[in-house]
A and B are shown apart, each in its own frame.
Chain A
Amino acid sequence: MRTIQTETRFPLSSVKPLETLSRYRAHCLEETRKLLSRGSARRTASPVTGSPLQPFGTVDSFEYLICPDTGSLFLASLPPAEAWSGLLKEMHRYRHSPGGFHSELAASRETHVYQPKVEWIQETLALQGIRKPALLEGGSLPGDLKELLEKSGSFSRVEFTDEAALARGVSTAGKGAFQAVVLLESLDRSDDPAGLVEQAERCLSRGGLLFVTALVASGFDFQALGTNNRYFYPPDRTNCFTLKGLRRLLEKFKLELVEVSTPGVLDVEILQAHLAQDPSFPVSRFERALALADEPVRQAFQSFLQENGLSSYARLAARKL
């Protein structure tokens, strides 16, 4: 198995600035609240281990539960699957609508978010000796990634499937028809993350690779900021796995991990952004000192987080046996 560290640097403002995100976040919270008020069911068991979920805390009055075995966090209540899927699609459209923060940052997000993901997928497939694979992307709606994957010319075909349909086993994606399946932050928002991994695995041919990215609760900025982290909100962070939780979820479906990395570059900057917005934000003295430290110190700490699986942006690749 391998882990990856990256020297690539880009500012928070180029991909998800806190100020712009705050407007989007408020909209997400409002729409989620409205939906849940129309009826919901309580989650009881950890999607990773099946253990009873335990109380954890609240994020803007939304209750979250914790998996006692892995530390992964889960929104306590969920509406019916169809309604949830509809909300995720609506949020996707909102992000990409004129004035939505993804639209405003389209060019820099392509450079810093999507293009590196395409390169990661290409290189990982090359390392595994997989050439010109058929690739399936799961998501709420097709977006920039699919276009870039198609443009790259590295794939025999690129298909998109609704992640909610995939999780429920009603996607039209062929079983065993793909050498690569990509789920970018889908596990963070799915109402059935275990079902999603199980069905994704079924779409893979033997030896094929599942690519997963997620923001993880075990990462530095989540650990430092806790439930006050402004990047932690439903429905986008309905689930906030730990790295351990993600590993166990993939292994549960007999996938062999070939890469587990946290190549995030923004943990320290996210901490800084919170302190800049609210200087009295409750963090430890060490965290405050780190946020105020010179750039080389902050970069060195970020590299340390990457190398040791402690950044909050996780990237995993796993092979179907």
Chain B
Amino acid sequence: MNCLIFGYGYMGKIRYQVLAKHPQVKRIWVVDPHLEKPPQELSGILLPPGDPLPWEQTDAAFICTPNDVTAPLCVEGIRRCRNVFCEKPPGRNWEEFCRIAQAAEAHPDHTLVFGFNHRLHPSIQAAKALLQEGRLGEIIYVKGTYGKSGGLKYRESWRTKPEIAGGGILLDQGLHMLDLFHLFLGPLQVQDALLADAFWNCGVEDNAFVLLKSHKGVPAFLHSSATLWRHTFHLEIGCRDGYLIASGLLSKTGSYGREQLVIGKRQFEDEAMALGNPREEIIHFDRDESWEKEVQEFLSAVQEKRRPTHGLLEEARSVMQVIRDVYALRGPTVVGREI
């Protein structure tokens, strides 16, 4: 297979590394007109600015660009080669997402996958398997915190420019947590939300607090933040007979801490040593294959001409609807303590 990668930033590099090792991938091209110093590994791979794009020879396109060009490139990719892997978010807003969805509907032979790799993290997969097993009982609530500290160059990043990013931390990291809520609870409705631009004053939210409800009435709460000075990933799933807490993320820097899943069983004072001190097991994970798995699944779906198992348009629609509704509820973004 021949693959064309748009954008060689943080995500583009990850996709390139995975594709370069993939046995089915014969050729890779990279397009990035903003690359100041082309790295050595892209010699013969990086297309010079102005060169025609090799759409005729491309089997799959990977869109790893800033948000402002995601939707047009995704639409073009669907139109020209049918098979597109698109990083999140799927457009800057609901309208851009709809344009992607329309392009997909116009070409039923397409394969379109969005980069929701958190579903494939080992703690999340383990949580899903344990819930399916059924011994923890039905889910009664879900609570997620996902946040980062931003860092010295955060204010200069395209991620904080409203015209490029389309939104703040909710659309960036928060979207991953919303996708996980969707994985465990199905489609969600927004009940209430608070957005704040409390520290960075960039005109997009640096904190989002969102209260949601599933179709079955299960409540969920998200805190998405760019002011968590200690990087945090924490997903708590409360069930009738116990609970699961996924925390930490296996990442390149390890800044989110060791990835683990706590499994707790409900025990009252007649069973446990003390009320509120139930038996817990903690599973620690040491291997994150989420990047490889999602690319593998996408390429297999393309080759086998079948529906992919995750990262689907419907899943992207579900999270983009929530984000649309939160932004609608809280009005246009302005700089200030509360938005």
Contact = CB atoms under 8 A, between A and B. Distances in A.
Chain A: number of interface residues, binned into ranges: 10 to 19
A101 to B, nearest CB: 24
A1 B286 CA distance: 6
B282 A4 contact: yes
B281 A7 contact: yes
Given A9-B273, A126-B132, A2 B279 contact: no
Nearest to B123: A2
Contact of A2 (B122, B129, B273): B122
A129 interface: yes
A123 B273 contact: no
Interface in A98-130: 122-123, 126-129
A89 B287 CA distance: 41
Given A1-B286, A1-B287, A127-B126, A6 B133 contact: no
A122 B135 CA distance: 10
B284 A3 contact: yes
A269 interface: no
A307 interface: yes
Contacts of A3: 283-284, 286
A8 B279 contact: yes
B282 A5 contact: yes
Contacts of B286: 1-3
Interface string B267-308: 000000100000111111111000000000000000000000
Q: Is the interface of B mostly helix, strand, loop or mixed?
A: mixed
Which among A122, A123, A129 has the greatest number of chain B C-beta atoms within 10 A?
A123
A126 B129 contact: yes
A66 to B, nearest CB: 28
Interface string A35-46: 000000000000
B14 interface: no
Interface in A1-49: 1-9
B35 interface: no
B25 interface: no
B260 to A, nearest CB: 8
B130 interface: yes
Nearest to B281: A6
Interface residues of B, number: 19
B130 A126 contact: yes
A136 B285 CA distance: 27
A126 B133 contact: yes
Contacts of A4: 281-284
A292 to B, nearest CB: 22
Nearest to A10: B273
Nearest to A126: B133
Contacts of A5: 281-282, 284
Contacts of B125: 127
Contacts of A128: 129
A1 B282 CA distance: 13
B137 to A, nearest CB: 15
A160 B133 CA distance: 25
A2 B284 contact: yes
Contact of B284 (A7, A123, A127, A307): A307
A7 B125 CA distance: 22
Interface in A122-157: 122-123, 126-129
Interface in B114-159: 122, 125-126, 129-130, 132-133, 135
A1 to B, nearest CB: 6
Nearest to A128: B129
Given A1-B286, A307-B284, A129 B129 contact: yes
A309 to B, nearest CB: 10
A7 B283 contact: no
A126 B285 CA distance: 16
A2 B283 contact: yes
A4 B285 CA distance: 9
Contacts of A9: 273
8 contacts: A4-B283, A4-B284, A5-B281, A6-B281, A7-B279, A7-B280, A127-B125, A263-B281
Interface of B: 122, 125-126, 129-130, 132-133, 135, 263, 273, 279-287
Please list the 7 inter-chain residue pairs (A to B) with the smallest Cβ-Cβ separation, ordered nearest first.
Answer: A7-B280, A126-B133, A5-B282, A3-B284, A127-B129, A2-B283, A8-B279
Interface of A: 1-9, 122-123, 126-129, 263, 307
Given A6-B280, A7-B280, A7-B282, 12 more contacts: A1-B285, A2-B283, A2-B285, A3-B284, A3-B286, A4-B282, A5-B282, A6-B279, A6-B281, A7-B279, A8-B279, A8-B281
